[in-house]
Each structure stands twice: as C-alpha cells, then as structure tokens.
Copies of this chain bind each other. A is one copy, B any other.
C-alpha cells in the first residue's frame, strides 16, 4: 500500500513552536461545518462578523479591515504591493528574518529600499529611525512589532510619531503579537497592519487579518499604476469585503473563514486584557523553569515577547537531537533558530491555546529528562 492510500493519521502534537499553535476544539468543529457558497448572503454575513471582530482585536475603526485569503506572508505582501509603486522610497527596519523579508518585497515592488538595521535580538531604536529619515523621503516606514525569529517586542508609539512627522505611512507586522499582546492600531497611528491566523489567535494557518487606515486608503486611491499582484489588489478585494455589490473577486476560503470566526469569538469571550495577562503570566512561569534548567533568554527582559521565548541552548545541548527527542518521545514541538541563530537558540511558543501551565509543565518535565 502506498503512503497516500492510508488514512490521515498525524501524531497528536503539543505545539510550542513559532506557530501553528494548538487549536481549540470549537475551531476544529467549526471547520468541519458543511460549506456554503462564497457569495451566499449567509457567507457575506460571516465575513461581516469577522470584519467586526478583527476591528475589535486590532482596536481600530478602519473600514478597510479584512482577511487576506492566504498566510501571513501574503498579508505582508498585500500591505507592501498596495502601498508602493515603482520609484517610491521605503524605509524598512530590520532586526530579524521578517524585516529582511519586507526589504526583499519592497525591492520586488520596484521601490527604492532604505534600511535601518538593528542587532538581531534587540529592538530598533527610535533615534535610528529619526536619523535614517534625514537621508531619505520614504512613502512608508515598515517595522516588525513582534519579531518571530528573535522574540523581540518592538515599542511603536515613539517611532509612529517620528514616521508621521516625516510624512510617511507606518506599516506594521503584527503576525506573532496579534491577540497575545496589546496592539492599538488607531491610538498608535498605525497606517497598515497585517497578522496571521496561526499564532496567538490559534486558528489554522492560511489566513491573514489586515487593516488599512484612512491615510493608507488615500495612498491606495492616489496610485498611478496598477497594483502588481492581481490576487492581492485591494482596489478589487475591498469590494468583496465591503462593497455595495460584494463583487466576486476570488473564491473565498469558506472553511478557513468558519475557523477564523470561531477563533475570534473565543478571543472576545476571554477578553483581550485577560488574554494578554494570561500570555504574560505563562511567560513568567516558563521563564522560571527554563532558567532553572540553564537556558538564558536572548532578549533583554523589557523587550521580550511573552508568546515567543527565544532562549540560548545550555552548553552541551545539541539543537537537532534534543528537538528530535522532544518531538519523537514527547510529541512536543519547539522551534529552532533561524539565520545566524540556527543551532544556537530555541524559539518556544506560548501562543493562544498553547499558552497554558499544562503546556509548560509538559515541556519542562520532558526537558528535565532529556538534558
């Protein structure tokens, strides 16, 4: 018998990597709901529900708030390709993999890239941004709120002011922080933001919540060229999400949207503040246990992400074999390092449904046996 002929039978994993996180049974159940059409009036209501809940979780009133029918990377690309035209200048703050990815996309847009580079594992300093803005006139400044590759939480309020003083738009990657730490889109003056479904929202991967503020919408409307991606072109996508006609653009991912709706409902039932506090408390519990085992955090305490714990491996612990044992013997997934940190750090996720004391006790128990 060929492998594909056998019944689907994955292991029951405990997901403590950089995402996906464990998904609540209600979300799994929602996905198993029989489908309706992507233009069915009932489905448009479901989209409306999702839009309202994404607004609430982003803390924004932005009308152009919606979900990209593809993973977080496509959400990143959505923000950049819609705001940039060939010849525009863009300043990207880079302190990890995802800042690099934004830089790459900026260049693919034909825009002129300027970079602010900070040490991986540290936040970007507002003064660096200010200085960089002295030698370029960017249309956008892009920055990562929660660097999944390093575990750094980036303070945004001061930088937002600097960016707006320079007449630029602020584009924010909130893939890992969304629904796990405070994001105040309106209060912080974020012009465009994208996230992912599979981190602290604990929905399955494949969708990306996005919101554009008024200034970003105005920039979109002032474009002289077509958006280079048809699939991500918001001048069309927005009519499917909010137009008077709800015009067909692409076929909406019905089942994934069922899951997204249920995951968002769970977030609002818990309450954002309670959810953030849960993520903070579990981070502290994990920290205590890991430090007792000889792990050191990569990031200075004040800039640590509670949901993505980047820790240096203790001497004598080999990355690959140790993670393999965790997976094979305990069904626990943690993430390895990326780029220069490969083999040197682990990225331990406590995201959404995976942010519980039970997860932590299982991991610490396993580590005590392995190390």
Name A residues whose Cβ lies closer than 8 Å to a Cβ of B. Answer: 2-5, 8, 10-13, 15, 17, 19-20, 22-23, 28-38, 40-43, 45-46, 48-50, 52-53, 69-74, 76-77, 101, 104-105, 107-109, 196, 198, 204-206, 226-231, 248-256, 258-259, 261-262, 264-265, 268, 327, 333, 338
A205 in contact with B252 given A28-B32, A230-B73 (CB within 8 Å): yes
8 contacts between A and B (CB under 8 A): A3-B49, A4-B265, A8-B33, A10-B43, A13-B37, A31-B32, A40-B333, A76-B230
Closest to A56 in B: B4
A230 B35 Cβ-Cβ under 8 A: no
Q: How far is the CA of A11 from the CA of B77 in the complex (A)?
A: 34
Q: How far is the CA of A177 from the CA of B369 in the complex (A)?
A: 54
Distance in Å from the Cβ of A254 to the closest Cβ of chain B? Answer: 6
A251 in contact with B19 given A43-B10, A77-B230, A230-B104 (CB within 8 Å): yes
Give the residues in chain B near A28, CB-CB below 8 Å: 31-34
A255 B204 Cβ-Cβ under 8 A: yes
Give the residues in chain B near A254, CB-CB below 8 Å: 20, 204-206
B8 A23 Cβ-Cβ under 8 A: no
B42 A4 Cβ-Cβ under 8 A: no
B205 A251 Cβ-Cβ under 8 A: yes
Distance in Å from the Cβ of A90 to the closest Cβ of chain B? Answer: 14
Closest to A175 in B: B251
A205 B253 Cβ-Cβ under 8 A: yes
A49 B4 Cβ-Cβ under 8 A: yes
B69 A10 Cβ-Cβ under 8 A: no
Closest to A3 in B: B49
Distance in Å from the Cβ of A57 to the closest Cβ of chain B? Answer: 11
Sample of 19 further A-B pairs with CB below 8 A, known A40-B327, A72-B250, A77-B229: A8-B261, A10-B40, A11-B40, A13-B40, A15-B36, A20-B251, A20-B254, A22-B34, A28-B31, A29-B32, A69-B74, A71-B231, A101-B230, A104-B230, A108-B230, A196-B251, A198-B251, A205-B255, A206-B206
Closest to A148 in B: B251
Our pick among B38, B45, B264 for the contact of A205 (Cβ within 8 Å) is B38
Give the residues in chain B near A107, CB-CB below 8 Å: 226
Our pick among B29, B35, B205, B259 for the contact of A20 (Cβ within 8 Å) is B35
B38 A20 Cβ-Cβ under 8 A: yes
A255 B259 Cβ-Cβ under 8 A: yes
Distance in Å from the Cβ of A49 to the closest Cβ of chain B? Answer: 4
Q: How far is the CA of A36 from the CA of B248 in the complex (A)?
A: 33
Q: How far is the CA of A10 from the CA of B29 in the complex (A)?
A: 13
Q: How far is the CA of A366 from the CA of B301 in the complex (A)?
A: 66
B8 A35 Cβ-Cβ under 8 A: no
A77 B338 Cβ-Cβ under 8 A: no
B206 A256 Cβ-Cβ under 8 A: yes
